[in-house]
Structure 1
């Protein structure tokens, strides 16, 4: 999948697509088989995957990551239907995508995703910057 993502990035860049679009499509290509694995395996740790993606630097905030999960789930649902099996169901795929999209909103990526008010800043004083490094 990494090779497919690299090929996608090269091709779309050569065709002149915007960088943000190229990166998103490459991310979807890179992650679509992992997504299928997670749909099929209840033991897979989706929260660990969400944390990994949140730390990857790929997304500026939780809302952008949410949109990416929604797009990935739709591509994976199309992949399921495209396999040509007459009774293929996308219910589990779309439900898992919705779960990942919801979980992404619980995972702060940027300081603006944090839920705090000015009292926390006042209490922390000069330690605010140091504390943010651990989030």
Structure 2
């Protein structure tokens, strides 16, 4: 009969493995919290935020209008606007830095300048920015 004997090294390895998993989960939860706070702030500044499983969509529309949802499949959560879209300006684009997935952002009805949007697009090439539903991205 083989008897397994614990040694100090076994305990150290076990603790190290548990710490790696705990740190990874903690970083994931911290990123989720930062993303949630950013999306809530964007909604407070008049943006509809729709989070899908693989991307996000933010639309700044007039107050009574709701954004067009092509299909609700894959929607994880939504944030309703509670402010005026005209409050969203160039400085508020940094709120998107906490987003974990690429976004398509309709900047209609905002105070964001074309220069700031172009710079933001340069820093986030996978994202799509546009100023009206009919137009394409600014790239």
Structure 2 length normalisation: TM-score?
0.28
Give the number of the structure whose residues are more often strand, by fraction: 2
Structure (1 or 2) with the larger CA radius of gyration: 2
Give the number of the structure whose residues are more often helix, by fraction: 1
Structure 1 length normalisation: TM-score?
0.28
